[in-house]
Structure formats: structure tokens, C-alpha cells
């Protein structure tokens, strides 16, 4: 069957060379049109705004070159935002990864029945099912100084007085990060779980024959086998966490003072509170450049794997 195929194909191919050249673009057309009109055009508009003085408020904005960039990059508030964002992003990613991995390993264990695993799988996936504003509101209610968390902790004598989880400059960033960790780990868990199903049992058997213990097997077999998806997950999560806005804004608004100010809340305040759309666009363009670099690495990494 295969032999016949190869002998027939060249004839067909020749006839269709021209068509074959155009065909892929026809398949791609809807995607390209949609993205070009609705995504690329607005992005170009945002980039353009960043080179003008205050657009929208000013009827006739003036081209100012890189002035906005100098302003943003020398703004101490922006520096604080970058620092907080880095903390928020890296702690979130690492915790997402660790929790997702541990939960996935627990759910993949052969010591448990399928029904039990099924129940826990749903429970562990719960945080994924709520939108950011709902997550923010429910956590605010729980973390209120007179909320249920302080009550539980005080009654179990873990803390002596009511803690101000979101309104203390020392805790706020950590608290917001924890909320983000809660809302984001299921993505890893489910993906890793899926990855684990794909690892061939032969590999584990071979490892067992070599006399490797569970820990050795985990590092020698599981991790290397999962590496491709782990890298994709980390990349995607980096980009998504960098953009996280609703959760931070609706829990702390970037405060107290600037304790939880991130690049996204900085951009929002510039645009919607100071009405400085040019400055907001500049912040956005900087973020876009950073993310594009990440995106290029991501594509390269994807290609290297193929």
C-alpha cells in the first residue's frame, strides 16, 4: 500500500504545485484576517500612542519621540512595580510548579483507587473554575481582619491577634501572591497529570530493575520525560502571570502605599486614574517587548523539540 502511494504521488504533486502553493494560505486566511484586524491593528495603535504626548485628552497630540519611555523608565514608582512584579511572577511560577507537581504525583499514585482519585481530581481543580473578580472578592471576605481565617488561626492558637493580611505592608504582596498561587496551580496539575499518563511504563520497569528507589526514579525518569511540557507550562505561566491585573487590583489596588504595585496596576493607574493614555501605552509597549522576547524563545524551544 505504502509503495503504491509513493509511486503515484509525484504525478499528482506536479499537477497541483500551484494549488499546493496557495492552499496553506487559504487554510490560514480566517486566522490571519481575524488576528490582523482585531489584534495587530490595536497593538500598532498602542505602540503609536507611546510616541505621542498625551493622546485622547489632547485633541492634537504631538510626536515626542522616546520622551515617554524616559519618563516611565526613570519613574521610581515604575521601578517598585518592576520589583514587585518580579517577586509576584517568580514566586507564583515556582509555587504553581511545585504544588501542581506534588498534587499530580499524588493523584497519579498507584496506592489509591480510581474513584478516590476522581473525587480529589475535581476538588483540586476547583480553583480553576472561578473568574478573577470572584476569587478576589471571596478571598477578601476570608482575609478580612474579622474574617474566618483569622478566627480559625486564633482558635487553634497559631496567632495571638488578628492579622491584617491584605493591609499590612509586610504581608500584602505575599498574601496576593498566595491567592494567585491558589488560582493558578490547577493548570499545572492537570497538564502534568496528563504528561504522566504519557510516560511509558517500560521506563519505570527498567528503572526498577536497576534498583533505583522512588526518588531516583522521579529525577531520572519522570522529570526528564516531562521536561518538554514543563518548559511550555513555565513559559505560558510567565506570560500570563506577568499580565495578572484583576486579582491584584480587586484585593489591594496596588497598595498599601505601593506594596503590591505591579506593572499592570501601574499601567491601569496611568490610563484610568491619571488619564495619561500615552504613559499607559508606553508601559504596555515595554511589557509587549519583554513578552515578545519570551515568545521568540518559546517558538525556538518549540521548534527545537520538533
Partner 1 sequence: MKSRTIMKKVVSTAIVSIMTLSLAACGGSPSSEGGEAKSEDDGKSVTLEFQQWWGPEMPEGTLKEICDDFTKESGIGIELLSNPYADTKTQVAAGAAAGTMADVVGLDGSWVYDFAKQGSIANLTELMEDDGYDDSQLSAQIQFEGNTYMIPVVNFAYPMYANMDILKAAGVTELPATREDFVKACEAIKAYDSSIAGFAIPLSTESPNGIQNQVMTWLWASGDSMLESGKPNLSGNKELEEVVDFVKELFDKDLIAAGSYSMVESDMVEEFTNGRVAFMIDGVSHLTMIKDGNPELDFAYTTVPVKSGYSGTVGMEAANWGIGIAENCEHKKEALQFVEYLLSPEVNAKMAALANAFPGNTKAEPDYSKSDELFVEAYELYQQCETINEFTGLPTSEDLMRSFEEQLQLYLDGDTASVSEMLEETQKLWEPAFE
Partner 2 sequence: MIGKKKIWVQALIVVLLIIGAVWAGFPVVWMILNSFKPNAEIFAWPPVWISESFSFHAYKEIFTNPEQVRFFMNSYLITGVVVILTLLIGILASYAFSRFDFAGKNVINTIIVSVQAVPPITLLIPYLSLVVTIKLYNTYWALILTYMVFTLPYAVLMTTGYFNTLPRELDEAVMIDGGSRLRALWNVLVPTSIPGLVSVGMYTFMQAYNEYLFALALTKTNDMRTVPVGINLLMGQHAYEWNQMMAMSVLGSLPILLLFLFFQKYFIAGMTAGSVKN
65-94: which residues touch partner 2 (CB under 8 A)?
none
Beta pairing partners, 63: 52
Instruction: Select from 27-35, 191-199, 222-230, 271-279 the region that touches partner 1 (CB under 8 A).
Output: 271-279
Q: Which residues lie below 8 Å from residue 125, measured CB to CB, with a gap of 6+?
A: 186, 189, 190
**Count of residues engaged in binding partner 2, rule: CB under 8 A:** 103
Q: What is the per-residue binding string for partner 1 in 104-143, x denoting contact by CB under 8 A? A: ------------------------------------x---
Q: Is 223 in the site for partner 2 (CB under 8 A)?
A: no
In this complex, which beta carbon is closest to partner 2, that of residue 207 or of residue 265? 265
Q: Which of partner 2, partner 1, none does residue 254 bind to, with CB < 5 to 8 Å depending on kind?
A: partner 1
* Distance, CA of 70 to CA of 265 (rounded, Å): 19
Contacts with partner 1 in 239-258 (CB under 8 A)? 249-258
Write the DSSP assignment of 145-182 as a string of letters.
TTSHHHHHHHHTTS-SS---TTT-TTTHHHHHHHHHHH
Residue among 116 and 169 whose Cβ is closer to partner 2: 116
SS3 253: coil
CB 258 within 8 A of CB 77: yes
**CB of 9 or CB of 274, closer to partner 1:** 274
> CA–CA separation, 103 vs 18, rounded Å?
52
Cβ neighbours around 65 below 10 Å, total: 9
Q: What does R_g of the chain's alpha carbons equal in angstroms? A: 25
Scanning 6-14, 167-175, 178-186, 282-290 for contacts with partner 1 by CB under 8 A, the matching segment is 167-175
Residue 212 lies near partner 1 (rule: CB under 8 A): no
Q: Which is nearer to partner 2, 41 or 86 (CB)?
A: 41
CB-neighbour burial class of residue 101 (10 A; exposed 0-12, middle 13-18, buried 19+) = buried
Contact call for residue 280 and partner 1 (CB under 8 A)? no
What is the 3-class SS of 3-33, one letter each residue?
HHHHHHHHHHHHHCHHHHHHHHHHHHHHHHH
Residue 129: which of partner 1, partner 2, none does it interact with, CB under 5 to 8 A by kind?
partner 2
Q: Are 179 and 130 in contact (CB under 8 A)?
A: no
Whose Cβ is closer to partner 1: residue 7's or residue 273's? Answer: 273
* 188: partner contacted, choices partner 2, partner 1, none (Cβ within 5-8 A by kind): none
Considering only 46, 64, 174, 221, the residue that binds partner 2 (CB under 8 A) is 46
Give the integer Cα–Cα distance in Å for 73 and 168. 28
Residues that bind partner 1 (CB under 8 A): 56-57, 59, 140, 144-146, 162, 164, 166-169, 172, 249-258, 269, 272-275, 277
Amino acid at each position: 500500500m505504502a509503495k503504491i502511494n509513493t509511486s503515484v504521488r509525484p504525478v499528482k504533486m506536479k499537477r497541483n504545485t500551484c494549488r499546493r502553493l496557495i492552499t496553506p494560505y487559504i487554510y490560514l486566511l480566517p486566522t490571519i484576517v481575524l488576528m490582523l484586524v482585531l489584534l495587530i491593528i490595536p497593538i500598532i495603535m498602542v505602540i503609536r500612542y507611546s510616541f505621542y504626548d498625551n493622546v485622547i485628552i489632547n485633541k492634537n497630540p504631538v510626536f515626542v519621540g522616546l520622551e515617554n519611555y524616559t519618563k516611565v523608565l526613570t519613574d521610581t514608582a515604575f521601578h517598585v512595580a518592576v520589583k514587585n512584579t518580579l517577586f509576584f511572577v517568580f514566586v507564583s511560577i515556582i509555587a504553581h510548579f511545585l504544588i501542581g507537581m506534588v498534587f499530580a504525583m499524588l493523584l497519579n499514585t498507584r496506592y489509591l483507587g480510581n474513584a478516590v482519585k476522581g473525587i480529589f481530581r475535581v476538588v483540586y481543580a476547583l480553583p480553576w473554575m472561578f473568574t478573577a473578580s470572584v476569587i478576589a472578592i471571596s478571598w477578601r471576605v476570608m482575609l478580612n481582619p474579622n474574617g474566618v481565617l483569622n478566627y480559625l488561626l486564633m482558635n487553634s492558637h497559631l496567632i495571638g491577634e488578628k492579622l491584617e493580611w491584605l493591609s499590612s505592608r509586610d504581608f500584602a504582596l505575599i498574601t496576593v501572591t498566595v491567592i494567585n498561587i491558589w488560582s493558578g496551580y490547577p493548570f499545572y496539575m492537570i497538564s502534568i497529570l496528563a504528561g504522566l499518563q504519557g510516560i511509558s511504563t517500560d521506563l519505570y520497569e527498567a528503572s526498577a530493575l536497576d534498583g533505583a528507589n522512588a526518588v531516583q526514579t522521579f529525577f531520572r525518569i519522570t522529570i526528564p520525560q516531562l521536561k518538554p511540557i514543563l518548559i511550555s507550562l513555565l513559559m505560558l505561566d510567565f506570560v500570563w502571570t506577568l499580565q495578572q491585573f484583576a486579582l491584584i487590583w480587586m484585593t489591594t489596588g496596588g497598595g498599601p502605599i505601593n506594596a503590591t504595585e505591579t506593572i499592570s496596576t501601574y499601567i491601569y493607574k496611568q490610563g484610568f486614574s491619571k488619564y495619561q493614555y500615552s504613559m499607559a501605552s508606553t508601559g504596555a509597549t515595554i511589557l509587549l517587548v519583554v513578552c515578545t522576547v519570551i515568545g521568540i524563545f518559546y517558538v525556538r524551544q518549540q521548534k527545537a523539540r520538533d
